Amino acid sequence: MSSIDSSSSPFASGDPTEISEAVIPKGTLWQMMESGIELGGERLNPILVKEARQALKSKQFVITFTLLLLAGWVWSMLGVALLSPGVYYAPGGRFMLSGYFIILTIPVLVIVPFSAFRSLAAEREDGTFELLSITALSSRQIVTGKLGSAMLQMLVYYSALAPCIAFTYLLRGIDIVTIVFLLFWTLVASVLLSSIGLVVATVSRARHWQVLLSVLLLVGLCFVTFFWTLSFVSLIVDAQATAFDDTDFWLAMAAIMTFCISHAVMFVLIAAAQISFASDNRSTKLRVMLLVQQTLWIGWMAFFWIKFEEEEILYILVSVACLYWAFAGACLMGEAAILSPRVKRSLPQSFLGRMCFTWFNPGSGTGYTFTVANLLTLLLVTIVAGLTAELEGFAAARGGFDWVIFVTLAVAYVIVYLGVARLVTLLLRQLGRVTMLLTFLVTLFLCVIGVALPLFFQAWLEGYSRMSYSIVQMSNWCWTLEEAADGNLLTFSLVPIIIYCSAVVVFFLNLLFAIYEVEQVRLATPERVLQDEREMHPSTDEKRGGSSPWDDLKAT
């Protein structure tokens, strides 16, 4: 046997670089993969790395993961015992999958979102968030790192039950499409709930409010998990519950998926805005996402309107959009119109830019105008779609224009109630500080009073049993819109006219009080700030030390 010279072996020196080069030749596929993994690891969010290490080493994760494995093992034994002896020839995949799905939803829809909430809330309660805020990490990176850690925990829980779920497919009675469908939408729901938990964690820093919010969030997560499990277990049991071969079904799923993605991004931006520094622009990105969601909603509903030619789609389009903008507008009007010099340096400079993009700036006046502009766009699209149906002879065209009165009244009511709420909050600002929550509560109070007062007044005059719609119910948006949808409002032609005129008057009054916010102009960037930016982000030529030898002569 020939001896091997140990001195010539690449392992003799002990240098890891030489060892890796000897084991993995340079330029091979494995070395390219190793370099890619190292590069990806360097670019990972440091908050994600920190949170993943803390979460996977915590007692909560160890206990939850152990209970998940134990529950999966117990259900495997119990389910097979219940199915025996027919398990050898009868399909039992649906029965077994129902149990595994219930076991999986508890940690994925309850534990993971609540852990994401506590992760961010604990940073603010314990005072460790200040250490994160002085680092180079942005607020968005902090929030996405927390969300990424929650998603990592979801994948670990999924992988723990993956063999069991694959076992249900082998038992027959369930197809792979249904299994993937259930797991995918449960994962999407978990991501959405985790992002909502991060938003709830940023609502308040007071410990007593955090305790109340944690209880409310936990109760809400339990309710969502219960109804989610109930609906999907019924889908598993009923073999004909879904039509996977129907194109319309997948179109509906695609529409829902786009809204889930947009709302997840919205929640991340809201949480990042809540924890951002005081001089940051917290409004523009959120308003851009509101506009994106408005575009998605109009686009999908217009597509379904053209495809199905049903007049009810127009009612759904306007009703949901008006409720959405009533809620969003009530929140936008609670923003303060104070712009820091940092924000003013990024304002649009040209006349066209100011005319188009001023409404994306923070402020109650710009928020109200932004809401009204989106509502008018919605109204224009709806009227064009409805008139096109009348002219083209769609099957849903009934020859009447009751829908025109409904959509115009719905938009006018939102403009009126939001405008009156903003005028009330402007008066309250003269007495003290008005928060976003107070603005929302004022708007909600006016909407409830507008319905309750005329109902009580007419019931007192005529009696509840003999009540019928009259002009007294003009402020009752609920009853008035119902009469408009039924086509009974033509006999009260004065009601729409008064509401339209009120909307115009209230809008111009609010526009008059928004002059200060519109007059905000762009500030020039100080030279000191420009110098700091050049030092922090040097140009390519500065990094190379000059693009040519003549640059050194010019510098001297």
Final residue of a structural domain among 234, 267, 300: 267
Domain of residue 225 covers: 35-267
DSSP symbols for 346-394: TS--SHHHHHHHGGGSSSHHHHHHHHHHHHHHHHHHHHHHHHHHHHHT-
Give pLDDT, residue 459: 82
User: How many domains are contained in the chain?
Assistant: 2
Task: Round to whole Å and give the CA distance between 50 and 456.
Answer: 58
Give pLDDT, residue 135: 67
If asked whether residues 470 and 443 sit together in one domain, one would say: yes
Give pLDDT, residue 194: 93
User: Is 16 a domain residue?
Assistant: no
Q: Is 460 helix (H, G, I), strand (E, B) or coil?
A: helix
If asked whether residues 255 and 288 sit together in one domain, one would say: no
If asked whether residues 217 and 284 sit together in one domain, one would say: no
pTM for this prediction? 0.80
- 335-386 pLDDT tens trace: 876 766 666 666 677 666 666 777 788 888 888 999 999 999 999 988 888 7
Give pLDDT, residue 324: 94
Task: Round to whole Å and give the CA distance between 359 and 229.
Answer: 43
Counting beta carbons within 10 angstroms of the beta carbon of residue 267, is it exposed (0 to 12), middle (13 to 18) or buried (19 or more)? buried
If asked whether residues 257 and 291 sit together in one domain, one would say: no
If asked whether residues 256 and 282 sit together in one domain, one would say: no
Cα→Cα distances 476→199, 316, 448, Å = 33, 20, 9
Final residue of a structural domain among 232, 267, 302: 267
If asked whether residues 453 and 366 sit together in one domain, one would say: yes
If asked whether residues 282 and 251 sit together in one domain, one would say: no
Final residue of a structural domain among 235, 267, 299: 267
Reading the chain (556 residues) residue by residue, the pLDDT tens digits are: 444 444 444 444 444 444 444 444 555 777 777 777 666 665 666 777 777 777 778 888 889 899 999 999 999 889 888 887 776 777 888 888 899 999 999 999 999 999 989 888 877 776 666 666 666 677 788 888 888 888 989 999 999 988 888 888 888 888 888 888 999 999 999 999 999 999 988 887 777 778 888 899 999 999 999 999 998 888 887 755 567 778 888 898 999 999 999 999 999 998 888 877 666 677 888 899 999 999 999 999 988 888 887 778 888 999 999 999 999 999 888 887 676 666 666 667 766 666 677 778 888 888 899 999 999 999 998 888 877 776 766 655 555 667 888 999 999 999 999 999 999 998 988 888 888 888 889 999 999 999 999 888 888 877 776 778 888 888 899 989 988 888 787 777 788 899 999 999 999 999 888 777 666 666 666 666 667 666 666 654 444 444 444 444 444 4
Counting beta carbons within 10 angstroms of the beta carbon of residue 292, is it exposed (0 to 12), middle (13 to 18) or buried (19 or more)? middle
Find out whether 299 and 381 touch, Cβ atoms under 8 Å.
Answer: no
If asked whether residues 248 and 222 sit together in one domain, one would say: yes
Q: Does the bond joining 163 to the residue before it have cis omega, within 30 degrees of 0?
A: no
Task: Take residue 523 and report the two structure tokens written for it.
Answer: 């500030």
Task: Take residue 516 and report the two structure tokens written for it.
Answer: 């200060």
Task: Round to whole Å and give the CA distance between 360 and 354.
Answer: 10
Find out whether 361 and 347 touch, Cβ atoms under 8 Å.
Answer: yes
